[in-house]
Amino acid sequence: MTTSTDTASLERAAAQHRRFTWPAWGWSGLGVIIVWICILTVSTGSIFQPLTQALTLVPYLVLAAAGQMLVITLGPGNIDVSIGTVISMAAYVSVAVGAQAGVTVGVLAAVASGLAAALISVIAILLLRVPPIIATLATSLVVASVVLILADSNQGGSIDALRRFVNFRVLGIPSVAFLVLLVTIIVALVLRRTTFGRGVIAIGQSEKAAAKAGIRVKVVTGLTYLLCGGFAGLAGGILAALIAPSTVLGTSYMLDSIAVVVIGGTLIAGGRPVVTGLWTGAFFFVMLSSLLNLIGWSVGQQNVLKGLLVVLVVVISSRGTGASTLHRFTSRFTGGLFNRSTASLTGNLTQKAGTHHG
């Protein structure tokens, strides 16, 4: 009876310890709060103004980062550097097609253009066995040429109906934010509850083990890159209603999408996507850019800082996740009380079990 009571105490102690595990997106969430406070100290306005202003750009960055997160989850070497040019191309396609066939067809055409660009990468990676970063770089060069052609034939700005949708707000929140939130919820469900999603994670943890487990590695990899292109196309198609299409419209999204994914907690080594981190990471970088603009930093200086932050997070994650770092800190701070109590309970159980058997 006493043994079962001690076992229950041990389980309760372990459960209590697990409840305090630091989330993978916790550091980016903490960064949002810190930057938020800094903005309030150097600018005037309501307390929620930095958040509402950030929400104007955050949804588009989340869309681009969602595709990048899926690719990075596939494991080392998987990264898509064509996202920026795909977004620029999709913006032109959305405007050109939408002006003739309507806003819905225009956005769908933008998504299709992203899928077509991603197909080039998929062929290069899977059939020609080109390393992903080289394949997507080549795709970026091809798409950049298409962007120049589209720019020469561009006749005007965005579509009125799409512009009204993008600018419409509910309780101060842009309608597009709700759309992107729905997309990220779907991504989370796909990763957790579908064979494809579990396959992406499994490949990132061990490609050989995934193949032995019956996962069709090439199919999952190809679909993942196609999804990344589709998300970039959707981001560019909608972004065209907020910012007029240009050849450099998506330039910053290549670096920022990677930065958001890494800062948001997704392992750069693959195998652990963090969907919530897309939002906290995007908020952090958009608000950080606002803060740096307020204090007079140039775009180049901001990119240097973002790059350093990404390197710092990669170094930290290579030595252990944020959760383990926080655990080590709290363990030292509390004097390892939990570990000692667990060891004591385990010792008591062992002693009593030995007495019982004796």
What's the total number of domains in the chain?
1
Per-residue confidence at 18, pLDDT binned at 50, 70, 90? low
Residue 14 lies in a domain: no
Residues 5 and 233: their CA atoms lie apart, in Å, by 58
* Residue among 306, 205, 327 nearest 261 (CA): 306
H-helix or E-strand spanning residue 174: strand 173-174
Torsion of CA 79, 85, 90, 93, to 10 degrees: -150
Domain that holds residue 115: 25-320
What are the residues whose beta carbons fall under 8 Å from the beta carbon of 314, sequence distance 6 or more? Answer: 262, 268
CA 117 from centre of chain:
20
- Give the highest mean pLDDT range of 153-167, 265-279, 319-333: 265-279
Question: Number of H helices and number of E strands within the chain?
Answer: 17, 2
Residue 17 lies in a domain: no
H-helix or E-strand spanning residue 237: helix 217-239
pLDDT digits over 159-210, tens only? 777 888 888 888 888 999 999 999 999 999 999 999 999 999 999 999 999 9
Residue 20 lies in a domain: no
Q: What's the confidence (pLDDT) of residue 166?
A: 83
Per-residue confidence at 329, pLDDT binned at 50, 70, 90? very low
Residue 131 lies in a domain: yes
Whether 358 and 9 have beta carbons less than 8 Å apart is answered as: no
Residue 328 lies in a domain: no
Alpha helices in 20-102 (DSSP H): 26-42, 49-54, 58-73, 83-101
Residues 183 and 123: their CA atoms lie apart, in Å, by 26
What are the residues whose beta carbons fall under 8 Å from the beta carbon of 321, sequence distance 6 or more? Answer: 24, 267
Round the average pLDDT of the chain to a whole number and report it: 84
More confident residue, 114 or 98: 114
SS3 342: helix
Residue 334 lies in a domain: no
Residue 216 lies in a domain: yes
Per-residue confidence at 335, pLDDT binned at 50, 70, 90? very low
Q: Which residue matches tokens 């170094």?
A: 315
Q: How many CA atoms lie within 13 A of 78 on its CB side?
A: 31
SS3 206: coil
Q: What is the CATH number of the domain that holds 116?
A: 1.10.3470
What are the residues whose beta carbons fall under 8 Å from the beta carbon of 156, sequence distance 6 or more? Answer: 95, 99
What are the residues whose beta carbons fall under 8 Å from the beta carbon of 282, sequence distance 6 or more? Answer: 58, 61, 62, 65, 260, 264
Residue 6 lies in a domain: no
